[in-house]
Amino acid sequence: MAESESQEGNDYNRGRMVENIKTDMEELLEEMEKLTVRAAWMAYSYTAIQSNADLSNAMQHSEDAFLMCKEQMEKKWQEVLLESRREREKKE
Amino acid sequence: MEKENRFKLFMPPRLSAGQVSAGRSQGFNRCSDDDFKLPFDVWSRGEITDSDTISQQVKLCSEVDEENPETMNELFSKLYKEAEKIKQWKLTVETELNQKERKLQENRKIIEAQNKAIQELQFENGKLHLKLEDEICENKDLLKEAAASRHLCNLLEETYTRFTEKTSKYEQEKEATIQLYEELHSNVERMTVAFEELCVQAENDRLEMSFKLKEEAEKVDKFEKECRLEVSQKEKQIPALTIQRDEKDDVIKDIKAQLQTSQNKIADLMEAKLHNEEMLKESQVSKEHLRVELEEAKISLQKAEVAQKNLETEFQTTVKTLIQVTGEKEEQEEECKKMKALLAALTEEFETSVANLKSLLQEEQNRLKKSEDDSKLLTLELQNKSAELEEMTKVKCDKEVQLEELSETLKEFHGLKAQLTSTAEKEQDYLKQLVTLKTDLEQEALKNEQLTVYLSKLSLEKEQTAQEKNAVAAELKKLQEQQEDSKKKEDNTKQLVENLEEANSQLRNELESLKEKMAKTGEEMKSTLDEREENVKRTENEISRKEKPLKIVENKMNNLKKQVENKTKCMEELQQENKVLKKKITTESKKSNTYEGKVNKLQLEMENINKQHKEEVDIYKKDIETRKVNENKLREEVEKMRLLCDETAMIQRETDARCQHKITEMVALMEKHKNEYDKLVEEKDAELKVYKMKQQKQISSERALENELSCLKKELSSLKEQLKAEMEEKENFVKEHSGSMIPESEKKHKTYVIKTPPRDKMQSGRSTNLPAEQSSRKKQKVLVQLDTQSDSSEHTDLLSIVSEEEMFKNLYKDYPQASQLHSTAPKKSPAPCSVKSPGSALKLKTMRRMREAGWTALSKMDRKRKIKDAVKLFA
């Protein structure tokens, strides 16, 4: 009786274990699916971020603008000074 | 067990009735377990019936217990009942037992069957057991697998958890990166925008800078041009400025030279000032003396003036009396010629006396003028006065003699005597005055003497002070000499002391040398002694040989000893001498101390005296300084007062000049105004006269005109009658003839011309009027010349009644004057005012009054203004 009881308990437990395993496996499967989905999404997002050229474009634009500004500042101040000197020379 | 339990349960029904039921119930409850279901079900049923009876028994027991005081019968009844019940129960129980045995048998059968079944089942169970074991193995395997899977699951879970964590981290980081990306993007956009703006701003700034540079360049150019112009201008100005600078330098040099000259002048002036100051001092000192003398002389002058005044009054009275006397004397001379000579002589003598008095007065006046001289002059004057007094006394004696002679001769003339007595009294008064003058002079002399005495005293005091100073100086000198002597003595003593000390030192040195010598000699002696001892030892043998040298040596020793003794004596003597010298030195030191004390005392006395002298000198200096200060202050005050006086004088002069100028100006103005007013007055008087003449003329003309008017009126009336007659005739003619005669009638219509020529032509007009009147009498044409005035006073109106040209010309043919008058167009009289009508005489008068009032007002105003100006000037 005790064995039966233990067996029964084991069986019960085994059943529970199996059921638990099943449920857990199912849950795990679901979770793994979810994880795979997330991973896929992550990869996609990585690719999207990496492939996003806005920053680079913007940086290039900014660099271009910066360079343009530099050039303009340098050139135009120099031009201004040269023009002022030329004017002074002309007037002199 | 169960039965026993039952029995146990049944045994004590009474005691634990209540409890039994409970226990049974509990037992029944306990028997309700699953494990004991089958066996107990039967018993449960059987117990149920028993329980009812037990319960009943219990109830009864309870009732019995409760009803103790009930009767035993009831109890016995109950017991019988109970016994019956028990029996019944037994029966039942037995039945039940039988039933139960049957059941048991059945059950045993069943059990056997069941056992069989059980065995079968056990076989099946074995089989199943094996199967189960197999299954168990399989299950174990499965469990292992499950465990493994569980383990894997756990690992998976762990990995899942890690993955989830990483994913969460990733998501967080992704979000962070997204935010950063967004921020960066925004920053980059901002940067781009900023750079673009910077570009734009740079362009704008460049443009602005270019403009500013241009403007500044232009400004700089303008400024440069302006600067160049200014530079050129300033360069142009430079030579002028250099010239000015040179000129100014020259001027500065001149000024410097002038400064130097002025400084030199100032130095010279300062020197002169100092000289002048010194002179001023001297002069002020003399001034003070002179002031004192002035005051005294003033006092004497005042007194002399008083005396002079008295003398003058008396002289005047004497003169008067003399006049009276002369008159009387003349009368007397007339009466008695004989006495005239004497009286003349007397008068002459009186005159001489008067002359003498006058001379005296003059002398006194001279003395008063010369009162500023020194006391010697006063004494001389006093002497002179005394001589004069003597002379006066002599004169008086002569006078007295004369008076006596006169008294002898003029006893008859008591009046003369009385007069003479009066003169004598007056002379006595003169004498008294002279006495007073003498006393004053004596007092003055006394004062002078006192002053001289005081001056002599002061001089004596000064001399005494000088002598004292000299004595003190001599004493000082003596003391100094004494001090010097004492110092010399001290020096000498010091020198002596030094010499003595030197001698002492020398002696000490000698002593030391002697001591050394002595020591040396001692040593030598010792050496010699040793030697001698040796020699003695050596020469013990030679003693005999050389006793003489020994004796000689002994003698030498003795001599040396003597010498030593002598030297010691000398030393002692020298020491004594040293002591004596020391005593002398002490005495001399004491003396020197005393001398030093005396010198100190003398020095103190000298210092005290010097201090006193210094104090006195200081006091004198202070006095002198104070006096100098006072003098300076007084000088300054005097200068200030002088300056003030000068200034006031100047101011007064200026004010006087100004006043005089102003007065002259005012006088000139007044004269001018007076002249102007006089002129105006004359003009106005002339105008008034003219106006009056005109008025009179006008009045006369008016009268004439009135007469003429009356005549004219009469003529007019006659003429009107004639006109009426003619008109009637004309009408008759018109009625007879056509209207072609109308203009002729108009022409023939007569009108009269009355002209008003200017007044100047009135006379001529009058002349013409007469003939005109004459003509008018003849004819109907009249020229009436009137000059009436309208309300306006400046022009004359014209009442013109024009006559027919033909008739007028006819008249003018007869009267060329009138033609002249007629030719002369009526003019407006240029006269300002010409009132000639009778009705306007009042107006004339009023206007004249108004004008006069206006002129007076103007004159008054002018005068008032001038008076105010004068007052302001003089105020």
pLDDT value at residue B99: 92
- Provide, as residue numbers in chain B, all residues whose Cβ is less than 8 Å from the Cβ of A86: none
Residue pair B296/B444 in contact by the 8 Å Cβ criterion: yes
Is the per-residue pLDDT at B455 higher than 80? Answer: no
pLDDT value at residue B88: 93
For the segment B9-61, what is each residue's pLDDT rounded down to a tens digit?
A: 344 444 444 444 444 444 444 433 444 344 444 444 444 444 455 555 555 55
Nearest CA in chain A to B181: A55
Mean pLDDT, residues B184-211: 81
B502 touches chain A (CB under 8 A): no
Instruction: Give the pLDDT band of residue B739 (cuts 50, 70, 90).
Output: low
SS3 for B263-274 is HHHHHHHHHHHH
Nearest CA in chain A to B189: A58
Please give the residue that has the higher pLDDT: either B313 or B154: B313
For the segment B746-783, what is each residue's pLDDT rounded down to a tens digit?
A: 444 444 444 444 444 444 444 444 444 444 444 444 44
For the segment B508-565, what is each residue's pLDDT rounded down to a tens digit?
A: 888 788 778 778 877 877 787 787 778 767 767 876 776 777 788 788 888 888 888 8
Q: For B761-785, give one letter per residue: b (16+ CB within 10 A) or e.
A: bbeebbebbebbbebbeebbbbbbb
Looking at the partner chain, which of A10, A21, A76 has a beta carbon nearest the beta carbon of B146? Answer: A21
pLDDT value at residue B101: 92
pLDDT value at residue B647: 87
- Answer whether B188 sits within 8 Å of A42, measured CB to CB: no
Is the per-residue pLDDT at B407 higher than 90? Answer: no
In Å, how far is A27's CA from the nearest CA of chain B?
10
Mean pLDDT, residues B284-310: 84
For the segment B356-384, what is each residue's pLDDT rounded down to a tens digit?
A: 877 887 887 787 777 667 767 767 877 88
**Which DSSP string corresponds to B518-537?**
HHHHHHHHHHHHHHHHHHHH
B67 three-state secondary structure: coil
Residues of chain A that touch chain B, judged by Cβ-Cβ distance less than 8 Å = 7, 10-11, 14, 17-18, 21, 24-25, 28, 31-32, 35, 38-39, 42, 45, 49, 52, 54-55, 58-59, 61-62, 65-66, 68-69, 72-73, 76-77, 79-80, 83-84, 87-88, 91
Instruction: Give the pLDDT band of residue B97 (cuts 50, 70, 90).
Output: very high
Note which residues in 220-249 of chain B have CB less than 8 A from chain A.
221
B163 touches chain A (CB under 8 A): yes
Is the per-residue pLDDT at B662 higher than 80? Answer: yes
Please give the residue that has the higher pLDDT: either B792 or B690: B690
pLDDT value at residue A38: 80
- Answer whether B139 sits within 8 Å of A10, measured CB to CB: yes
In Å, how far is B111's CA from the nearest CA of chain A?
19
What's the predicted TM-score (pTM) here? Answer: 0.24
**Which DSSP string corresponds to B309-343?**
HHHHHHHHHHHHHHHHHHHHHHHHHHH-THHHHHH
For chain A, 92 residues long, the average pLDDT of each consecutive 10-residue run is: 51 71 79 82 81 77 81 74 77 66
Interface test with A, best of B140, B206, B223 (most A CBs within 10 A): B206
Is the per-residue pLDDT at B387 higher than 90? Answer: no
Tokens 């059990």, residue located: B111
- Provide, as residue numbers in chain A, all residues whose Cβ is less than 8 Å from the Cβ of B174: 42, 45, 49
Strand-pair partners of B753: B783
- Provide, as residue numbers in chain A, all residues whose Cβ is less than 8 Å from the Cβ of B202: 69, 72-73, 76
- Answer whether B202 sits within 8 Å of A7, measured CB to CB: no
Nearest CA in chain A to B221: A91
Cα(B636)–Cα(B656) distance, rounded to whole angstroms? 28
- Provide, as residue numbers in chain A, all residues whose Cβ is less than 8 Å from the Cβ of B213: 80, 83-84, 87
B641 three-state secondary structure: helix
For the segment B214-227, what is each residue's pLDDT rounded down to a tens digit?
A: 788 788 888 888 88
- Answer whether B150 sits within 8 Å of A24, measured CB to CB: yes
pLDDT value at residue A84: 74
SS3 for chain A is CHHHHHHHHHHHHHHHHHHHHHHHHHHHHHHHHHHHHHHHHHHHHHHHHHHCCHHHHHHHHHHHHHHHHHHHHHHHHHHHHHHHHHHHHHHC
In Å, how far is B109's CA from the nearest CA of chain A?
24
Q: What is the interface pTM, i.e. ipTM, of the complex? A: 0.71
Is the per-residue pLDDT at B730 higher than 90? Answer: no
Mean pLDDT, residues B239-250: 87
pLDDT value at residue B744: 46
Interface test with B, best of A64, A80, A90 (most B CBs within 10 A): A80
The tokens for B654 are: 């200026």
Which stretch of B125-139, B282-296, B332-346 has the lowest confidence by average pLDDT?
Answer: B332-346
pLDDT value at residue B702: 84
How large is the greatest C-alpha to C-alpha distance in chain A, in angstroms?
127
Mean pLDDT, residues B69-82: 85
For the segment B125-144, what is each residue's pLDDT rounded down to a tens digit?
A: 888 888 888 887 887 787 77
Instruction: Give the pLDDT band of residue B388 (cuts 50, 70, 90).
Output: confident
For the segment B319-330, what is each residue's pLDDT rounded down to a tens digit?
A: 788 788 778 877
For the segment B130-185, what is each residue's pLDDT rounded down to a tens digit?
A: 888 888 788 778 777 777 877 877 787 788 788 778 878 888 888 888 888 788 78
Which run of H or E residues covers position B787? none
- Answer whether A49 sits within 8 Å of B174, measured CB to CB: yes
Task: Please provide the average confidence, as pLDDT, over all residues in chain B.
Answer: 74
Tokens 């409760």, residue located: B66
Cα(B640)–Cα(B629) distance, rounded to whole angstroms? 15
Mean pLDDT, residues B406-423: 70
Mean pLDDT, residues B477-495: 81
pLDDT value at residue B15: 40
Is the per-residue pLDDT at B84 higher than 90? Answer: yes
